[in-house]
Amino acid sequence: MGPGAAVSGVRVGADKDTGVAVVTLDRPDRLNAVDLDMAAALAAVWQEFRYDDTVRAIVLTGAGERAFCTGLDRDAVVPQPGSPYMQDDPLLRIGPKANDLWKPVVAAVRGMACGGAFYLLGESEFVVADTTAAFFDPHTTYGMVSAYESVLMAQRMPYGEVARMALMGNAERIGARRAYEIGLVSELTPPGQALAAAVRCAGVIAGFPTEGVQGTVRALWAAKEAARAQGFAQAPHLIALGNLPAERQTGLFRARRRTHRTR
């Protein structure tokens, strides 16, 4: 996928002079929710970057003003094996680390980032957000277990903050200021300026010797890899035990309250 290319809800632009690529989740009409085609496109982008030495740092963002990403598209049909011991999660392969990419990724967040968005934020090195950003995890509201998302966020936020976000579901959101205070966000910008700030950071990183940068990314990931692997190993069983049937989840989704508290 060359510079400026767009396919299946993912747009890629690269500046060969700076070594920075910008990956944009480009389904703003669906709040950048991930469908199966978009999941496959993201995996393909990360795989391509593994072989493109002109790309030395990456910025990941979402199109539009309303959302960075709202997780798995609820209209996506995900076939599942007829066994409690096997489960297919299309979001497990959408992140850079899941595709063996050890180039630094900086996330730029505007608007909502919720649910499955944490697969992407959890595999980014750090997050830059503007003051419109809001983070929440609606799983419990809809009778679902927050498993992979909570494991990833437990490595980015204090335990109590992750627990509160996951358990409060759709009733409460973490505002940009609070996200900055607890360390989920490393830099807070005025509205609409997160992408530019993230690109600036990526440009600095891309200017450093590649081997040292990528080795540092790998070392940082190794520091938390064992805990993540243990959490992920439990996730399929917890989801199989705790998730309501799909029709009941749909009913809860349709009956959800539109009001929420932001802290």
pLDDT in tens, 142-178: 999 999 999 999 999 999 999 999 999 999 999 999 9
Reported residue count of the chain is 263
pLDDT confidence of residue 28: 97
Cα torsion 122, 163, 71, 67 to 10°: value is -90
239 belongs to a structural domain: no
Residue span of the structural domain in which 155 resides: 6-195
φ/ψ (deg, to 5) at 16 = -70, -20
Positive or negative, the CA dihedral 49, 109, 147, 72 is negative
pLDDT confidence of residue 3: 54
111 belongs to a structural domain: yes
Q: Which of 258, 68, 66 is nearest to 171 (CA)?
A: 258
70 belongs to a structural domain: yes
Q: Which of 174, 199, 193 is nearest to 184 (CA)?
A: 174
Q: Which of 210, 191, 187, 211 is nearest to 200 (CA)?
A: 187
165 belongs to a structural domain: yes
Beta strands 10-15 and 6-7, pairing class: antiparallel
Positive or negative, the CA dihedral 106, 222, 98, 49 is positive
148 belongs to a structural domain: yes
Copy the structure tokens of residue 26. 């480009």
The strand pairing partners of 87, in sequence order, are none
141 belongs to a structural domain: yes
In the chain, how long is the greatest CA-to-CA distance? 53
Residue 6: pLDDT band with limits 50, 70, 90: low
How many distinct structural domains can be found in the chain? 1
Residue 246 has pLDDT above 80, yes or no: yes
* Average pLDDT, rounded, for the chain: 94
Do 103 and 205 meet the contact criterion of CB atoms below 8 Å apart? no
Residue 79: pLDDT band with limits 50, 70, 90: confident
Do 171 and 141 meet the contact criterion of CB atoms below 8 Å apart? yes
Dist CA 12 CA 95 (whole Å): 15
Q: Which helix (H) or strand (E) holds 45?
A: helix 36-50
Find the CATH number of the domain harbouring 69: 3.90.226.10
191 belongs to a structural domain: yes
The strand pairing partners of 114, in sequence order, are 136
Residue 204 has pLDDT above 70, yes or no: yes
Q: Which residue has the tokens 């990360």?
A: 46
pLDDT confidence of residue 2: 54
Residue 4: pLDDT band with limits 50, 70, 90: low
Copy the structure tokens of residue 243. 């998730």
190 belongs to a structural domain: yes
Do 61 and 23 meet the contact criterion of CB atoms below 8 Å apart? yes
